[in-house]
Amino acid sequence: MPTVKKHFIVHTIHDETRDAQDLVKDMTEGGTGLSEADCLAALNAFFKVMSRELSRGTVIKLPFFSLYLSASGTFDYAGQAFDPATKETGHKVSLHFRANKAEEARIVNETLIQREFQIDKTAPCLYTAHSVRTDEELTASPGDFIRIHGRNMKFNKTQPETGVWFKNGSEHRAVQYASVTPGTVIAQVPPDLGAGQYSLIVRTSPNEKDIKEAMLSDPVSVA
């Protein structure tokens, strides 16, 4: 429109959607010593207690945010009953969320934001890689598991043409995978991989026909 001063807006694309089961799997793979069953049991108990307290009118303060119920609506006269079960009254009770500003600022500060010019929306895109054992970025040892964050990275780990490769002259494919999702891949650095700087490559086949690949912008140091 000619009256608009700025003609472009920001559009956000999230890497993926993950549920509680996915997060529990990450917790058990992170060296916590907890089993998946233990984590799920604790999480289910937590949600039950939280739901009970919210229904009692309690404000739940968590590290990232606070949750609380709030009533809204209007009345025709002073003694009218609050009746959210009847649609015609316009009364309702809704769940509200309020972010912890300090935690919000910390998460925003740690967030990787990339401007995308990617034309092929099905091709993989790599953002970061960390050692699962040490959480050090772009560094791992032979036999370590490395966690790769990106987008569109899901592949069939039994298909030899797809997966994670370490390239330094020749290519070495990771054989063991702890997790393969569109946004996160956890792969084992080949135990016999020699020390050096390696390009990290992920190859996928989104249509089970063509091979598509992406390379991390910085090399991974294996020592």
Span 99-142, pLDDT tens digits:
999 999 998 898 877 776 656 788 999 999 999 999 999 999 99
pLDDT tens sequence across 55-82:
999 999 999 999 999 999 999 999 999 9
Angle at 131 between CA 125 and CA 137, to 5 degrees: 65
pLDDT tens sequence across 169-203:
999 999 999 999 999 999 999 999 999 999 999 99
Instruction: Average the pLDDT over 5-22 and give the result.
Output: 76
Residue 118, amino acid: Q
Position 13 in a domain: no
Q: How many CA atoms lie within 13 A of 112 on its CB side?
A: 9
In a shared domain, residues 36 and 59: yes
pLDDT tens sequence across 81-91:
999 999 999 99
Distance CA 132, CA 128 (A): 12
**Domain ranges, residue 182:** 125-222
Give the pLDDT band (50/70/90) at residue 20: confident
In a shared domain, residues 163 and 133: yes
Position 73 in a domain: yes
In a shared domain, residues 99 and 26: yes
Position 9 in a domain: no
Distance CA 31, CA 181 (A): 19
Phi, psi of 145 (to 5 degrees): -95, 140
